[in-house]
Amino acid sequence: MTRVVISQPMYFPWVGFLAQLALADVLIWLDDVQFSKGSFTNRVQVPKGPDGTGWLSIPLAGKGSGRKIADLAPDRPDWTESHRATLRNAYGRSADWNEIDACLAEVAATSPLPPAIAASSETLARAVGLDLPAAMWSSDMDVPGAGSARVLSLVQAAGGTRYITGHGARNYLDHAAFEAAGVAVDYMDYAPRPWPQSSASFTPYVTGLDLVAHVPAPDRRGHLNPRTTPWREVVEQD
């Protein structure tokens, strides 16, 4: 069974996405679709003191308006410097700050922007102890179509027999078509195990760098707790 995950590039993503990567044999970065303002392609939550979170956002040229993800560019070349300051403020006292700093340095050394964003996910996944799945870019795959039909075609083009996705897909996936094509569909069952945080109450929705900062390397992967549910069970719950 070849398990496929499809995702738009995500900047230093939350642990739920890392759990999804832990289950993947193939990861398809979906970069030939239009950038959506407010998505997690160029931003992620970070702790902001003991009482809440803020955002770490990549400033985009032209605000990213009307562009495909593959064509995104930062509005200035030194954008990682301000991100380093923000992350240092959040995690500078961590024993693993140098590891976090090295993750950002890898991103800063990668260009253009979409591969740099993908590098943030990949270097974070390695820091958490994951073996990276084979990565593909949808813009290189020459797979036409839209919506559910294209998702199925991408999975098939990658040799997939099982598609693992987030719950937003249940609103548009044609599950019967996947089943007819011999491709199983499973939805993520997000259940990360809490770890110590500097905030007053635990939240899993901040960047996975938070896990790196607060948990020793050998124990990080266990906090992902990757699980899935077959699509029929999810649909029946709706």
pLDDT the model gives residue 86: 95
pLDDT the model gives residue 91: 95
pLDDT the model gives residue 201: 85
pLDDT the model gives residue 199: 77
Percent of the chain exceeding pLDDT 90 equals 92
Partnered with residue 206 across adjacent β-strands are 45
List, for residues 130-177, the tens digit of each pLDDT value.
999 999 999 999 999 999 999 999 999 999 999 999 999 999 999 999
| Residue 108: C-alpha distances to residues 47, 97, 217 (Å) | 22, 16, 23
pLDDT band of residue 236 (cuts 50, 70, 90) is confident
| Residue 101: C-alpha distances to residues 7, 49, 59, 86, 106 (Å) | 25, 20, 20, 11, 9
**Where in the sequence is the domain holding 56, given as residue range(s)?**
3-237
pTM: 0.96
| Residue 16: C-alpha distances to residues 1, 184, 203, 217 (Å) | 22, 21, 12, 18
190-194 mean pLDDT: 97
pLDDT the model gives residue 200: 74
pLDDT the model gives residue 76: 95
pLDDT the model gives residue 40: 96
Cα gap 80→108, rounded to integer Å: 6
List, for residues 213-226, the tens digit of each pLDDT value.
999 999 999 999 99
Question: Residue 16 is which amino acid?
Answer: G
* Nearest by Cα to 160 from 63, 50, 27: 27
Number of domains in the chain: 1
List, for residues 72-125, the tens digit of each pLDDT value.
999 999 999 999 999 999 999 999 999 999 999 999 999 999 999 999 999 999
| Three-class SS state of 3 | strand
pLDDT the model gives residue 182: 98
Contact 34, 72 (CB under 8 A): no
List, for residues 40-70, the tens digit of each pLDDT value.
999 999 988 766 789 999 999 999 989 999 9
Contact 212, 12 (CB under 8 A): no
